[in-house]
Structure 1
């Protein structure tokens, strides 16, 4: 299953780049992620709980960041085994470009594969689920960079950029 899309994020590319490399940000953005430990250089060990149709499984696996071109692009690769439910693996090639408004155009191309009981659900269910997961990850990522999470953080001065939870977390 392949999926390509883009998001226009109202945050500078340097902030978007720093966020995508932060393990706490990745953990918060990966749907169903219960644990994520490791580093960009060595990879991350992850525990993710997901329900696909009637199959609910806990996937234990690895998330790697590769093909890093500083500030421009990278590849996020994940694979996990969910016991009797089967396995899932996928990769997202992510690119970053400045926009005329001072934001960042984030484009991604996702490829995913499943096996075991999950594969028996049929491609229509798997394709829809994969699209939903990718959309949730990048939506959480975008919202975390753009949206203030509570009224106390909203700046009245329109000249100052508003920080979402990722922006506050990164400083």
Structure 2
């Protein structure tokens, strides 16, 4: 590997590390803003109303799905199609509905609320909604960080191989030099 290629790899690594640090700063700012928004929501909603007992006990469903392909982390957008994978909770609800239809004597059960974490209730303050949107943006930044981190690891592996090749070439040059001098 030539010195020019080695320098290009080092420059690429430095660029990736710079991008990683910039995105990490953005993530830190968004997380602190989300924390401030949650504190504001707790203050406006009333600290006494926000407790462990007021949290919905339903099973939580994932709000975001991440796809990993070729060391690229991407967020899969939610589709409104019926073709998407059904969650375990939704399948159980459908099975229960089928059982209810078979047993006409039983009364129908109300369908459970979609499992979204809402500690402030349905009518949550605007600052809680802002905190929720900031956290969604944080997930996108985390995906970018993971992608950049994988890129840095692959560049590091290439650099390690290049340095080992240079080291072997250096040892070969030393042995040839000792043969020529002798």
Q: Give the TM-score category using the shorter length.
A: under 0.3
TM-score normalised by structure 2 residue count: 0.24
Higher relative contact order by CA 8 Å / sep ≥ 6: 1 or 2?
Answer: 2
Bigger fraction of residues in helix: 2
Bigger fraction of residues in strand: 1
Which has the higher Rg, Structure 1 or Structure 2?
2
